[in-house]
Amino acid sequence: MPFGLLTDGHEGEEPWVTEVRAEMVANVWKVVAAEGNQVSDGDTLVILESMKMEIPVLAEVSGTLSKMHVAEGDVIQEGDLIAVIE
């Protein structure tokens, strides 16, 4: 069962960017998408792991993954930036 995490939509002037942030403290188990990838709404970007549960982080918009801020094995805090989609 996929759980989409908090996606902060910051629609600026041009180009619009969407920041994907962590909804909870977690370990980064797998980075699925790479910088430069075209991603669609619903695609898995990374898979987090917290308290023995896998939590896929999904793109909630379509666009280009311009920045991946986490690497496998990282421990991230609530609110940390995971990725940016343009």
Distance CA 35, CA 22 (A): 18
Measured CA to CA, the distance from residue 79 to residue 8 in angstroms comes to 10
Judged by the rule CB under 8 A, the positions of this chain that interact with other proteins are 1, 3, 23-27, 49-53, 55, 75
DSSP SS3 for 42? coil
CB of 49 to other proteins, least distance (A): 7
**What's the min distance (Å) between Cβ of 4 and other proteins?**
11
Residue placing its CB nearer to other proteins in the complex, 66 or 80: 80
Smallest distance, other proteins to C-beta of residue 63, A? 26
CA 8 to chain centre: 10
